[in-house]
Structure formats: C-alpha cells, structure tokens
A and B are shown apart, each in its own frame.
Chain A
Amino acid sequence: MGKKKVSRREFLKTSGVGPAAVTVLAPGLIQASQSQKGIALQRQEIFAALGDTLIPTDPGDPGYKTLEKYKITQEVMKGLTAISDAELEIFNQGSSQVFANRGFLQLTESQRADYLRLIIDGKEFSDKAQLGTLRKVYEQTRARVFTVFYQNYPENVIARDRNGIPILKPGDKHQNTNPNTRELVTGWDIAGFKGPLTWEEEEERRAKFKKINWQE
C-alpha cells in the first residue's frame, strides 16, 4: 500500500479480511482514512494497552507499564507481525458492541479486562469470524507479552564487546554472566527466578552437596 492514503474499506479489502470484518465495525467509529503513521501509532497504543491489562502495574508493584521507558512494547511488537493492522482494528473496535460504542483504547482499565474476559468466554460474539480474529489477537499478544516480560526484558541480553564476547564484571574469573540486576524489577524478580549463580552462591552449594553426594 506504500505511502498513499487508503480508505478503511480499501484497507480491509486488500488485507484480505473483507466484508466479514467490516460488518463488525461500528460505522460511527470508522474513520474515512488514516495515514500509515497513524495506523502504526495506534498499533503501538493497542499493544501497549493490552500489555498493561495482561500484567498490571500498581503502586509498589511494578508491571508491564513500568518497562515502557525501556520500550517493551516495541520489543513485543517484533513478535506480533502475524497480526495485521486490519485484525488489530477489528479487535480495537470489537468492544464497541458491548461497551456503548467505545473502542478498546477508550475503555477504562477494568473495562479492558472485562472485554478480554468476554473474548475468552465467546458468548457475546455471535459472528465466528469476528470471534476468531478477537481470540487470535488476544492469544498471540498474551503469549508474546508473557514471553518478553518473563524472559526478563530489558535485562535479558548479556552485554558484549565489539567482538561479541560477553563482558564480565570486574574481577570475575568464573564467567558468571547473569544480566539480571537489582536496579530494576523485572519478570524474573517477580517470579523469584535468579538466573545463573554467582561464584559465591556456587561455593555455598558445593559445600552443602559435598556432605551428601560428592566424588572427588
């Protein structure tokens, strides 16, 4: 579609979603046209809102939104290219039929959670094609958000030098490279997962198991 402006109808038609998708959109909410930039921005807003609904953030209890300053939604979106803009728009507008013509982005936090519950339940959506799209967006986003967040983003990558060699902490002779820090609460911290042990932690375990099951 390049950079030219296209109508929503043209967009849906060329993206293969077609009439089934158009029927589920509340006519009053469909804008005549939208720039690619606008679509991209809205795409990011929808995934960010979904991430926040899936892993909420509360005072003293960091969650998905806490990591927005580390661009977690951009990382999440890298794995969601199978969801088309048209499908995401169906998801966004699907809430309008149960929440007084309000799209997903216009819902409150609790309404967004209710909307996801309705998608899981399915009874509110009689159109099978629509329900299939809503579930695809929900399920794929859920899997991706949980994967990125609980794989310890943004402390999931080991720092490396120009040659790709992991950078060790000063004085570390034991090659203990664990990207997790205490500076930020990540998915690992929430789940109580520590990653590779330090040398000192290893030594403690050696001392313990030497008394039980050791052969040297």
Chain B
Amino acid sequence: MSTGKSYDVVVVGSGVGGSIVAAHLAEKGINLRTGQRLRVAMLEAGPYWKGSPRPGYGTALRRRMITNFISDSPPNLWPWGMMKIVGGTALHAGASVYPPYDVDYQHWVEEGTDWTAENCQRAEAEVRRMYNIHAEPDELLSRGNLLFRETVRKMGREVHQALVGRKNCLYTGFCEGGYFCRYDSRMTPLTNYIPQAENYGLEVIPEATVERLIIEKRGTRKVVSGLVFRNKGRAVQLRAAKIVISAGVVGTPLLLYRSGYGAREDLGSKLIVENNNIGKHLDIHAAVVVSGYFDEPIKDGARGPAPAGFFLLDDAGPSAYGRLRIKDSGMNGIEEPWMLAQSPQAPAFGREHKEFMKKARMHRGGILVVLMKPEGYRGRINLRTVKMEYEGNRIIEQRLRQGGELAREILEKMGAKKIAGYDMPPIYHIAHGVSTCKAGKDPRVSVVNEKFESHDIENLFICDASVLPRSASGDAIGPIATVAGLAAERIVANHFS
C-alpha cells in the first residue's frame, strides 16, 4: 500500500454535501497551528469531467461524455443506482430545487437538532443564490401546465409554482432521458462550487473509491486518523486531521460499516465502534404516478420544456401530517418512445398501437403524487446486502391512495381519458432518502450531533442526506445543500478559525 499526502481535512464524496463543505473549508478554514489556509482534499469514486462549463453551452469534453453517458454509464453506477462522478447526481432530471419549508425546520428541531430556520438562514440564502432557484414564466410552460393550474384553482385549492435550479436552459428535455444536462444549464457543484474552491487550493482526487476509515483506539477514545482508498487497482493510504463523510444516504453508512463502525448485529466480530443507528431510520418519499390521455395536445412539441409547472400540497393534519405533493410533472417535456409504447394508455398492439405512437407524445400527461412526510414508519439499508429495506405501512398506503384519487379527480376535470395509476401500489425509491446516519442530541438514537460530529469517533464528521433527521417537503437537494452550508459554518467556527 502506498502512502499519500497528509491533509488537514479530507472530504469523502463530491456530491452536493461534500462539495459545499469542501469549498467552504478551502476558502475560509485556517489551520490554527500554522495560521495558514487549510489543506483540503475531496475524494470521489467517479471521474472528473473538468472544464469551465458555460450554462447553456457546456464544454466540448462534457458535451461528448454526457451525450454518450447512457451507453457508457454502467461502470460508473453505484449498486443503488446513483452515479459516481465529481459533482454528484443528486440534482437530476428537471433540476427541481426547494429550500426547506418552515415545517421542515420544525421537524428537524423535534427530532433533536437546533437546525432552525433562523440558524440556517445564511446557508439557505446562499443556496438560493448559488443554485439560481426560480420559478419559470408562463410563456415557457405547456398547455398542460396551465390547464393543471386553472383546474386546481377552480377546485378551490392553493396552487404553488414549481422551483428549479438552472440557468440558460434550452428546454430540450434531454435531461429527462438521463441525469445530466449536456448544455450545463443545470446548477451543480461542478459549476457553482468546485471551480472556485480549486482556486483556494482544494485538491479533487477522482476515481478514488474509499475502502475504509482508519480508526485508532487511544485509551477509551476512538479517533479517526486517515483512510484507505483504491485508485486504478492500487491501495493508497491518506492521513487527515479531520475527515468529513459525504457519501450519501447509502454510501455513508456503508463506508462506516466497512470501517467497523455500526450496529453489533450487523458487524459481529468486526465491530470496532458501536452505534446502532447506522443504516437505520431511513425516511423516503413514496410515490404513485397517475396518467391520462388528452384529445387535444397538452405538450409543446417533440422536445418541449423540461419539468417545471405547478403543484398543490395536501396535509392530513396539523404540522404537515402525511403531507402529499401533487405535481403536474408529466404535463410537459418529452417521453422516450419505448416508455410511451408501454404506457397504460397505449393500446395492446397492432395498427391501433402504431397510430397511438404517432401522436401520443403530445397527448399523454401525468401527475406525480409524492408522500413527502411518511408517518409512523422508517426503513433501513441492509448494509450486508446493500439493499434498501422499506415495506411502508397502512398509513402510507392510505395517504397515497387518497393522493392518487385526488390526482385522478384533477385529471378528469382537465378532460383526460383512460386515467390510470391512481390505484397502483406505492413506489418506494431511495432517490430522496434521508436519515441513515441521523443527526440529534441523543447518542442513543442518532449518529452525529447538531455540529455534524460523530457521537462516537473523534475528528469524524458527516454531512449529506444521511444526517437529515426527516424528509423535507420538497426534493432532497435544497435541504442537503442548506444543511451542508450550516455544517461548513459550524466546522469552520468550531475547529478552523
């Protein structure tokens, strides 16, 4: 094993959480012993498609890589479906970004943190600016979007305008077929944080898969002092005064588990440091998709605007109990033909099916019903098999059934026919999952404290989706970015200033 450099801080993972923390540490952190700027490295398992992306144009290398990404992607996929790449893929598809709602902050406080709206105010403002969060003007929306808004208003419900984090979008819908924007219009750490951070000395180490942390026992204390990563088959050891893990809702607990940090029942004789919450408390967004067919076109053409539009929120009780978000996600953009061919509105086969294929791309619309606040149930990541274990419960199923019925009613009032999907079983997906290394004051039910420090191992921090104590009311990216900003502030204030 070769020995690499020594750093003040090593950040593991270059997604939203890791990039924001690394960028702030590189810019603002001071080594208290030397008085110099911190030496910070950020490790990423995937490649670095470097360049100076210009939103709306992209760069030559990135355009080629992204255009061909789908066929090239399998080697760069994690087993749970997310991609390995510098900048991460958390902001995928249509680039929906929602800062935390007031009720989300309230829930995080109820779960044992001090992450209030007031404490996160600065970080949230930065996220709004860096991600260029905005709603889009009506002239960019489709007939389906506008019809959805009009219908929901007529039903006496409040309509909210969807938010996106992008700049100079060409509205080709390309990102709906893959995770990336070949024009670099979607805001990612690669465009908004990493280039600046490199100017402050951040060292990005791509294609570095971290195998384990080095945890030393010093008397009764446990201290992390470095890590081992693999690069092109070669094992490399790094030393670091502090390590921040930002490998995501699955990757983070998995790395801790591989390092001997976790539940006794999972690790057995490999246990080095015990914490029964690692990989547990998984909170996700469960969903159903309701779709229908319209006699008149509801979309704008072969390649129309990517998702924006409108949504309504439906709560089953006070404090956003059982909150549903019902969004016109399928009222614009494009649909890949092979998916359209197998949609519930498509005839079974034959000439009728072929005629459907010739015109349906502008006539089929959908509503995405997402249970943002599942109640009374948490899943887990099985760290031995690297599988999500999430069965849901009756409350979750009933709320989604109610949401499906509401979506069906909206589609009917919009004039849709052949409405399908409202009575289907919920879709449970890891995409917006949080809380597998939950933050909180009480070490018995959490992994890190509100300063993002491990309860059990000195010099170890965690900052990504895994620390969020509860699902938010919008997509996960805004809350992750906001909390990462808070983490950076606190780590700098408590250790490096």
Contacts and interface: CB of A to CB of B under 8 A. Distances in A.
B168 A56 contact: no
19 contacts: A116-B348, A120-B348, A151-B337, A157-B71, A158-B68, A166-B67, A173-B60, A175-B67, A177-B68, A190-B354, A190-B358, A191-B358, A193-B336, A196-B174, A196-B182, A205-B171, A209-B170, A216-B56, A216-B168
A34 interface: no
Contacts of A150: 336-338, 340-341, 357
| A-B residue pairs, 5 tightest by C-beta | A175-B64, A191-B337, A150-B337, A150-B338, A146-B341
Interface magnitude class on chain B: 35 or more
B302 interface: yes
A32 interface: no
Given A150-B357, A188-B337, A158 B167 contact: no
A197 interface: yes
A177 B140 CA distance: 27
A113 B170 contact: no
B358 A205 contact: no
A215 B137 CA distance: 14
A193 B361 contact: yes
Nearest to A166: B68
Contacts of B337: 150-152, 187-188, 190-191, 193
A106 interface: no
A70 to B, nearest CB: 17
B350 A56 contact: yes
Given A192-B358, A193-B361, A206-B170, A146 B338 contact: yes
B67 A190 contact: no
B67 A212 contact: no
A196 B132 CA distance: 25
Contacts of B182: 196
Contact of A209 (B171, B302, B340, B349): B171
Interface string B261-298: 00000000000000000000000000000000000000
Interface of A: 53-56, 58, 61, 63, 113, 116-117, 120, 142-143, 146-147, 149-152, 157-158, 166, 173-177, 187-188, 190-194, 196-197, 202, 205-206, 209, 212-216
A53 B350 CA distance: 6
B190 to A, nearest CB: 17
A56 B354 contact: yes
Contact of B67 (A113, A177, A192, A216): A177
A173 B63 CA distance: 10
A202 B168 contact: no
B305 to A, nearest CB: 10
Nearest to B301: A192
B139 A212 contact: yes
A150 B67 CA distance: 19
* Residue with the greatest number of chain B CB neighbours at <10 A, chosen from A174, A192, A194, A216: A192
B234 interface: no
Contacts of B302: 192-194
Interface string B46-71: 00000000011000100110011001
A62 B174 CA distance: 27
Given A54-B349, A113-B349, A194-B303, 8 more contacts: A55-B353, A120-B348, A158-B68, A166-B64, A191-B337, A197-B172, A209-B168, A215-B167
A214 B56 contact: yes
Most A-side CB within 10 Å, residue of B136, B174, B303: B303
B342 interface: yes
B444 interface: no
A197 B361 CA distance: 18
B342 A146 contact: yes
Contact of A205 (B170, B334, B342): B170
Contacts of A206: 56, 170
Given A146-B341, A196-B67, A205-B171, A175 B60 contact: yes
A177 B168 contact: no
Interface string B357-381: 1100100000000000000000000
Given A146-B338, A191-B357, A214 B348 contact: no
A55 B355 CA distance: 10
B170 A143 contact: no
B363 to A, nearest CB: 12
Given A56-B354, A176-B67, A212 B172 contact: no
Contacts of A194: 302-303
A215 B358 contact: no
B232 interface: no
B351 to A, nearest CB: 6
B361 A191 contact: yes
A204 to B, nearest CB: 10
A190 B351 CA distance: 12
Contacts of B313: none
Contact of B140 (A53, A61, A212): A212
Contact of A54 (B71, B136, B336, B350): B350
Contacts of A157: 71
Nearest to A61: B354
A215 B354 contact: no
A192 B171 CA distance: 17
Contacts of B136: 213
Interface string B143-172: 000000000000000000000000111111
Interface in B244-273: none
Contacts of B361: 191-193
Nearest to B359: A192
A11 B424 CA distance: 39
Query: Among the interface residues B132, B338, B350, B361, which one has the most CB atoms of the partner chain A within 10 A?
Result: B338
